[in-house]
Amino acid sequence: MSAMLRTAGFVALVVSAVLIGEQRPGFAQSTSFDDTARFLAGMPPSEGSALAPLTQDPAWQQHARYFNSAFGNVDKNQFSKVRAWSSAKLTTPHQVLFYFFSGPDFLYANAFFPNASTYVMVGLEPVGPVPDLLRLPRGSLDDALRHIEGSLSTILTISFFKTHDMRMTLGASSVSGTLPILYVFLARSGKTIHDVTLIKLDDQGVPQPESAPSPPSMKNPAHGVKIVFADEDGREKTLYYFGTNVAGAGFKSSGLEKFCDRLGSGDVFIKSASYLLHGNGFTDVRNFLLQHATLVLQDDTGIPVSYLSSDKWELHPFGRYTGPITMFARNYQPRLTQLFQSGAEPLSFGLGYQWRVLGSNLLLATRTGSGTEPISNQAGASLDGKPLASTNPDDSQPSSAASEPANPATKKASKKAQRQQRANSTVVQQPSFWPFFWGRRY
């Protein structure tokens, strides 16, 4: 009898350890990337997953109820309209999407560009470690889930991240970085994650394992993550997110320019970008996007309309342009006012800094036949040793990003741009009304 009691006690101890997230490597090996993503998203993991017992925790169940409500509301009131607009207006999608200054915002990338096969997202926020929920310290699960909820408050209400808020929440949890957020967005978008690899770029822009030594010439390589996932119809796609500073020479020196150049032409999406492309500090990024874009979809914080000449671009305004919010008043664009007044189509959803439905703007710029042809994949180029198919079979010429003449003030502008990129993300006061409540109430 005593032996049986000892055995029963041992079993109970093991179950308890799982429920509170004790460090047990054997359990961690049986937890898939997709199960982890679903768990963080408040969705049940697969049957038999080592995470399944943790769904009995009241903290997770409350988390699941909150996310079910939050994502249900935002899909009904926002993303269903975005998808309908995209289906009607973005009728010639391309394989590659470049989304700079994105943070981990896969939600809008997927809603506007669901047919892309390769997503390239770039932000200041670091990737962080691959989440291993079964190794969380005792009692930290509730705290980790609450921090994830807090980091998503603004994007689920006013369509963009506030970097300051993200830095405060994601860095204060045992589940840190942007990767948990990407997990949540992928799972809630109906994707199935197949593989996750932490990477960094070498001097040729080729992804290497994060643990690999960098070339001596690479002082600040771009660090990121490669996520291979399947769409709801089973098509396999790839998401690259890089947490790196692309101000000044950073775009080139990090290897990111060469990485993006290997992908050739694609669609470009920009929103809530602090008007960074309006100044001299991000000239390399702006020139790259102008040369490689087949289509640009942006709000007024993106590429200044003065760079989108009518002999190269066909411009279609949507919504209402009333100028920037007060803190960015210097970035007012008179030509954009004229363009919108000449006949803008209505927009049934809001996004960006002017996030209210009747105050938002979008500009769709499509490259015309008379403009410079977008760049296709370089012949023989690859991201990780495997050949890449051209996104344009009729255009296989190699490319290099456009650049402006050297400017003696470039170094000073670069430092100023880096400060601006770090500081300008907190752009609005908390509104008096939210589509649904701000975070979880206790």
Rounded Cα gap, residues 284 and 159, in angstroms: 27
Q: pLDDT 10s digit of each residue in the chain, 442 long? A: 444 444 444 333 333 343 433 433 333 445 899 999 999 999 999 999 999 999 999 999 999 999 999 999 999 989 999 999 999 999 999 999 999 999 999 999 999 999 999 999 999 999 999 999 888 877 778 888 988 887 787 666 554 445 555 554 455 456 889 999 999 999 999 999 999 999 999 999 999 999 988 888 788 999 999 999 999 999 999 999 999 999 999 999 999 999 999 999 999 999 999 999 999 999 999 999 999 999 999 999 999 999 999 999 999 999 999 999 999 999 999 999 999 999 999 999 999 888 777 889 999 999 997 555 566 554 334 565 444 433 332 333 323 333 333 343 444 444 555 455 444 443 333 332 233 223 332 2
With the CA atoms of 212, 215, 219 and 222 taken in that order, what torsion angle do they form, in degrees rounded to the nearest 10? -50
Taking every pair of C-alpha atoms in the chain, what is the biggest distance, in angstroms?
A: 89
* Residue in 328, 251, 341, 262 with CA at minimum distance from that of residue 96: 262
Residue type present at position 397: Q
* Strand stretches in 78-175, DSSP E: 96-100, 118-123
Spatial distance between the Cα atoms of 223 and 383, rounded to a whole number of angstroms: 15
Could you count the other beta carbons within 10 Å of the beta carbon of residue 62? 17
Closest to 73 in 3D by CA, of 232, 188, 191, 193: 188
- The DSSP 8-state label assigned to residue 30 in this structure reads T
Residue 133 to residues 96, 187, 196, Cα–Cα distance (Å): 32, 16, 15
Helix, strand and coil percent figures for the chain, each rounded to 5: 40, 15, 45
Q: Beta strands of 271-312 (E only): which ranges?
A: 293-298
Sorted by where each begins, the domain ranges of the chain are 17-378+413-423
How many other CB atoms are there within 10 angstroms of residue 29's CB atom?
9
Calpha distance 282→247 (Å, rounded): 5
Structural tokens at position 8: 């029963």
